[in-house]
Amino acid sequence: MAELPPTRPPRRWQREVASFGFAFNGIWAALRTEPHMRFHAWATVAVVALGLWLPLSRHDWAVLALAIGAVWTAEMLNTALETLVNLVSPDYHPLAGRVKDIAAGAVLLMGIAAAAVGLLILGPPLWAAVQQWW
């Protein structure tokens, strides 16, 4: 039987590219399994569609992008923490519940802040468009 040549270990850039695949797998897994992630996805679509309809500056888009990214990041960290807590504490424990509550609270705070950003940026041009339409 012929011997196979030794395989080369992946190069650094190949490992870096593969890590993007793992990250996208994580985003996709969260979207598939977490109802709140799907809500954030729909909210993102709505905000982007509204932003495309309204006259927004690059600065406005940058702030909206940061707010959207912060909410998504908070939700994904919350999901990761909840998954980890479920792994290490499958039975109910008050501290496990506290960790989950605090992480969920962080998402809520970020969502409120992002909603305020959305109102401050989208509100005035939307109000002007509504007044012009009436």
Active site residues: 75
DSSP string, 69-117: HHHHHHHHHHHHHHHHHHHH--S--HHHHHHHHHHHHHHHHHHHHHHHH
Beta strands in 8-96 (DSSP E): none
